[in-house]
Amino acid sequence: MGLARPVVFGNWKMHGLRADSLALAGSLVERAVRPTGTLGVFPPATVLRDVARRLEGSRILAGAQDCHPEASGAFTGSISASMVKDAGGTAVLVGHSERRHGLGEDDAVIRRKVLAAQGEGLLVVLCVGETEAEWQAGEREARLRRQIHEGLAETVDAALLVLAYEPVWAIGTGRTPSLEDIAGTHAFLRRELVGRLPAAQDVPLLYGGSVKPGNAADIMALPDVDGALVGGASLDAAGFWSIYQAGGGA
């Protein structure tokens, strides 16, 4: 079935100097003695190598928050998929809304990033989600369908893919869709994936957007919710671990 459930990933975003990041990684290692699911963190690129080394032998994966679609070149400030791998990363986030809307990345660029990352054998966590305006206008499904069909080439390896649904309006706001909405959206995403890729039935579907210890259990108990992509709450080891446990991890 691929990755063991629950699949709980922490996106540290632009937080953490070396000492902070190593302390956080160490706290997770102490808790994850024999993890029964899949746990991973995505630290800033500046500390990826250090965090990956701290996590060695723990079965907690370390990944990058982005990669460039090209293998190398004059792309100041960017890192390639091979650089992520060289730094000890085994996964990469692609298409996070903070890059789509903050940096103008479109589905064509994201599609190239997915292929570049998988070309290096990296697990890709593709983030999709609608804006509040699209949600209120009833355009959620149309938007998600475009992100899946335009962001994923038909040659994508489903064994190296995770899909994370993050409604843009819920990220960092404390607001979440209703449980009914989440369940319906994840069922839709599963159908779209199965219609797009072979073996897509086994691709983990994560929910992201203001996931915290108080709502994690209810969210991850829903059908077709295989785990969570956690933002701010992943910066606290105890809270992040409790989210993992809420999904059945130990």
Residue list for the binding site for substrate: 11-13, 172, 210, 231-232
CA distance 237 to 234: 7
Residue 141 is a catalytic residue:
no
Give the 3-state DSSP-derived string for 89-112, with helices as H, strands as E and coil as C.
CCEEEECCHHHHCCCCCCHHHHHH
- Asked if omega into 223 is within 30° of 0 (cis), the reply is no
- Rounded distance between C-alpha atoms, residue 231 and residue 205, angstroms: 16
Catalytic residue among 68, 96, 120, 186: 96
Beta bridge partners of 127: 164
Amino acid at 84: V
Q: Is 96 a catalytic residue?
A: yes
Pairing type for strands 161-165 and 7-11 reads: unpaired
Select which of 68, 166, 186, 192 is catalytic.
166
Please name the residue ranges forming H helices in the chain: 18-31, 48-55, 81-86, 97-100, 107-119, 132-136, 140-151, 179-196, 213-220, 237-246
Distance CA(6)–CA(30), nearest Å, equals 19
Known catalytic residues are 96, 166
